[in-house]
Amino acid sequence: MTELNASLPETGSNGAASVALRIAVLDNDSGFLQVLDKRLDRLGWEHRTMAGPAPVDEIVAMRLSAIVIDLAILGPQAWEYLERLCEAMPGLGVIVCTGRSSVAQRVRGLRLGADDWLTKPCHPEELIARIESVVRRRRQLESRGASAPVEAGELVIRNDHFQAFVNEAAVGLTRREFELIDLLAAAGGRVLEREDIYQRVWGYAMVRGDRSVDVFVRKLRQKLEQASPDWRYIHTHFGVGYRFAAELREGADIVPDAPPADFAVDAVEESAALEA
């Protein structure tokens, strides 16, 4: 792993100073790595190249900002490895940079927890920009981690755990699903447009016809309904987007935690009447 460059940081394409990051690259494409390594050295980023999958606990110990993975070199274990890595490190930025792939493969990778997917051949500068984008979103999410949990209906959303809970039991959200519910819940009941959701969760503009937001909302709803069947949390505004608000389902039988506010007054009056 290279040492941090002591020189002043370079500026990125947007004119802002590039922040030194610590990344790992799981790849064996020598030509691509040679060009990428030179660019990362110039940026002053610490980086380590691995030709094969390291144990997940070893990746955890590296204290990385992000990891770039070429799934092609992992063989049949690629999906399992990606899933285990994303589950073990919910705060790690994961970028898949691999050869040609199908829509189904890209969707599967993103659903397993990858933050971004880039197809080779690609320019190292674009990969670097995507790494920066992913890390920026991760840090923005972590900066809200110290905030108080959001409680709505039976649901408790914990930024520090990257998870939502019902009666202290985890709902079992993937990282992307958590980012989605966290964003919606933070909107204070406002309707968020699909394009805005995609931009803020995925990090770049939504392609026309992309249904990723709708797919993730549907999966998120299914998990919430299973964990908390008496409540509705995500509401659809057709043609616009989605809104978060905890609302009891019609006919739900909820036993209140405390008696109504006028219960004590009525009880005292009834007792006094009997004594009279």
Domains defined for the chain, CATH in brackets:
22-143 (3.40.50.2300), 150-248 (1.10.10.10)
What is the predicted pLDDT for the residue at 256? 46
- How far is residue 30's CA from residue 33's CA, in Å, rounded to a whole number? 5
pLDDT per residue of the chain (276 residues) written in tens, 0 to 9: 333 233 323 334 443 435 678 899 999 888 888 889 889 888 888 888 888 888 888 888 888 889 999 998 888 889 999 988 888 887 788 999 998 888 888 888 888 888 889 998 888 899 999 999 888 877 766 665 556 788 898 999 987 778 899 988 999 888 888 889 998 998 888 999 988 888 888 766 667 777 888 888 999 999 999 999 999 999 999 989 999 999 988 766 654 444 444 434 444 444 444 444
Helix (H) or strand (E) holding 108: helix 103-112
What is the predicted pLDDT for the residue at 97? 92
Triad 111, 113, 114: Cα angle to 5°: 100
- How far is residue 101's CA from residue 86's CA, in Å, rounded to a whole number? 20
Q: List the one residue out of 157, 160, 189, 159 whose CA is nearest residue 171.
A: 157
